[in-house]
Amino acid sequence: MADRRFHRHSGALALGEIARIAEIELPAGADAGRSFDDVAGLDDAGPSNVTFLDNRKYLKALAATKAGACFIHPSLAGRVPAGCLALGAKNAYRAYARVAAAFHPPAVPVSGVHPTAFVDPAAVLGAGASIGPNATVLAGARLGAGVRIGPNAVVGENVELGDACVVGAGASISHAVVGARTVVYPGARIGQDGFGFVPDPAGHVKVPQLGIVRIGTDCEIGANACIDRGSASDTVVGDGTWIDNLVQIGHNVKLGRGCVIVAQVGISGSTEFGAMVMAGGQAGISGHLHVGDGARIIAQSGVHRDIGPGEIVGGSPAVPAMEYRRQAAALRRLAQRKGPEEDESEP
């Protein structure tokens, strides 16, 4: 269960309200007025908690759960133990997420400028903006209504933040235009110089980075992620794209709508992703490539070629997923073979 010292709690919810929020139908005979006070995992849940199962790997934990109700795919409803109400949901994790958000809504920010913050007189703050302790908002910056700037964060000159954006503690944003409802987590760096230079034995020559970063609406930029501004064109992050912690996005990169970029991915300059691309953790993508809509890159892959729409690739260098799996299986079989000099049997 959530620790209420850190997570705001809205109070108990009736089963009928839980069903409405989760967009499911209650099973026949269920008491719509029955009260639940929180969500919890299978192992920790008690009779007043709602839990979920969306992976058969946890069927053993389901059998032992003490939860009062469980979101579960209808095909597995019969596996729910006695005393736990099966709440049929085609996407149990989505149902759980919606209900968890209802039990634990975000804190309502207090608008205004903290006494220790600095806001340049030439900056524009929208209605209800909140500027935290020691934060800095420089000249020409334009913050929309309800924007929240965390402690020690820096919003640079002429940066634009859309309505209801959130900038976490210690983050810095320069040379950027950010759409509404985008969340920038603590320590992220947006708009700094791209890594552009001309090698020269006498000393590398810096290439001026003259673009900006354009981030769409409803995006998430993870903690300590870095997004470089463009060199000649702009770096672009499409609407609804979610970027995990510790991601590096090079100059002129363009990410389409709804992409998911997992922790420690690095995307080199001028590479373009289409819509709904997913890149697994620690994948590295070379520069000047094109990755088509809906493509998926398996974790720790090294991508050195264009990837077509819907293609799934893995390995280094990345190849189609089935070929990658065959290579891994062949290597495993090869490693299990013993040559004459490796025979460990007794003479």
Measured CA to CA, the distance from residue 17 to residue 50 in angstroms comes to: 13
Q: State both tokens at 121.
A: 């007189």
User: Read out DSSP for 35-57?
Assistant: EE-EE--TTT--TTEEEE---GG
Measured CA to CA, the distance from residue 54 to residue 89 in angstroms comes to: 10
Query: DSSP 3-state assignment of 330?
Result: helix
Measured CA to CA, the distance from residue 275 to residue 292 in angstroms comes to: 8
Other beta carbons less than 10 A from residue 45's beta carbon: 22
Measured CA to CA, the distance from residue 29 to residue 37 in angstroms comes to: 21
Nearest 5°: CA angle at 206, between 201 and 211?
A: 155
| Catalytic machinery residues | 251
Chain position carrying tokens 């985008």: 182
Interacting residues of 121 by C-beta distance below 8 A, sequence separation 6+: 139
Measured CA to CA, the distance from residue 217 to residue 165 in angstroms comes to: 9
The sign one gets for the Cα dihedral 251, 255, 261, 265 is negative
266 φ/ψ angles, rounded to the nearest 5 degrees: -125, 125
